[in-house]
Amino acid sequence: MYSIKLLRLAHASSSCRNSYHSLLPTDSKKRRTWISYSLLVFPAASFALGYWQIQRRKWKIDLLEKINSRIPAKPIQLPHNVVSSSELPEFTHILVRGHFDHSHEVVIGPRSLIEDFIPFKGYGSEWAIRSPNKLLQSNMIRPSASGYFIVTPFYLEDRPGTSILVNRGWVPYGARDPIIRPDGQVEGVVELSGYIRYQEKPPTRIFGSQIGSLTCLDHANQNPHIRYPCRQIDKMSNDLKTLPIFLDADYESSVVGGPVGGQTRVVLRNEHASYIFTWFSLGTIGLGMWIYFFIF
């Protein structure tokens, strides 16, 4: 019974294929035209994109290796001829010496605490929500206390009158106003190290809404906090009259009672392996269909 059904199904399939070929022009049965060859563009393009993704994957792996080597590297002095963050590789570990202008500090936020560099029971750990899997900690999105990054103009000792932007670190909402954290407002000449950061693309604002300034209680010594949605280095440097050099201060720069340093996270997606599989699969399918219709 089943054998008869299979024979009928095979006969029907053969009949459909013969009917399809009978509809083709006589020439197409004997030779392939330029139109049929032009269809090879699609699988060829897929294979080309797959090869391009292989090169992109190699580039991304190399970039990640370079960045991973910069983070733990010993800090170097900020070159005297550098006047912009873009003149140095991002995440370069830099050492600077000078003093802060706390009266013109601004905030970025709201932001969650980045706890990747905070040691167990170290300063700032009271706000941290630890992941049980330490290996995944830096790549996991976890709920955490919200607050702001404190960005302060920093006047360089070796360049009188010249200042840069330093992200001193994170503070919770309740400690945004400097009057709440007087012990953290470091005075005098200090030496700190941090990582060069680049401009961030600002988020799209709904209906062109503007973010207003946040008032501070110490009106005599503190300007209202200008709040930025992200690391808008060009705008911040223009507003504060600094060089467009932005440093994320490392955790070692943290002062008890002040911002929690070490607010640097490297987020680079490397999904090129899946892209390679996708493009080569599409190319193989396309080439297989072409062979099926125009060869056999």
Q: Locate the domains of the chain by residue range.
A: 32-66+272-295, 78-128+145-201+214-249
pLDDT value of residue 248 = 95
Question: What is the distance between the alpha carbons of residues 80 and 111, in angstroms, rounded to a whole number?
Answer: 32
Of 252, 264, 259, the C-alpha closest to 152 is 259
Pair type for strands 146-156 and 163-172: antiparallel
Pull the structure tokens for residue 241: 């009259």
pLDDT value of residue 129 = 58
Question: What is the distance between the alpha carbons of residues 296 and 283, in angstroms, rounded to a whole number?
Answer: 19
pLDDT value of residue 142 = 42
Pull the structure tokens for residue 255: 């002062």
Phi-psi region of 91 (alpha: psi -120 to 50; beta: other; left: phi over 0): left
Partners of 148 in the beta sheet? 171
pLDDT value of residue 14 = 54
Question: What is the distance between the alpha carbons of residues 190 and 187, in angstroms, rounded to a whole number?
Answer: 8
* Chunked mean pLDDT (size 10), the chain, 296 residues: 48 51 48 78 91 88 78 90 94 95 94 83 71 39 70 96 96 91 93 94 62 81 90 94 96 91 81 87 89 80
Task: Say if CB 149 and CB 108 are below 8 A apart.
Answer: yes
113-121 long-range contacts, CB within 8 A, separation 24+: 113/144, 113/145, 113/147, 113/170, 113/260, 113/263, 114/170, 114/262, 114/263, 114/264, 114/265, 115/144, 116/262, 116/264, 116/265, 117/250, 117/251, 117/261, 117/262, 117/264, 118/251, 118/260, 118/262
Handedness of CA 125, 131, 134, 135 (dihedral sign): negative
Task: Say if CB 243 and CB 84 are below 8 A apart.
Answer: yes
pLDDT value of residue 67 = 76
Handedness of CA 229, 234, 235, 239 (dihedral sign): positive
pLDDT value of residue 202 = 77
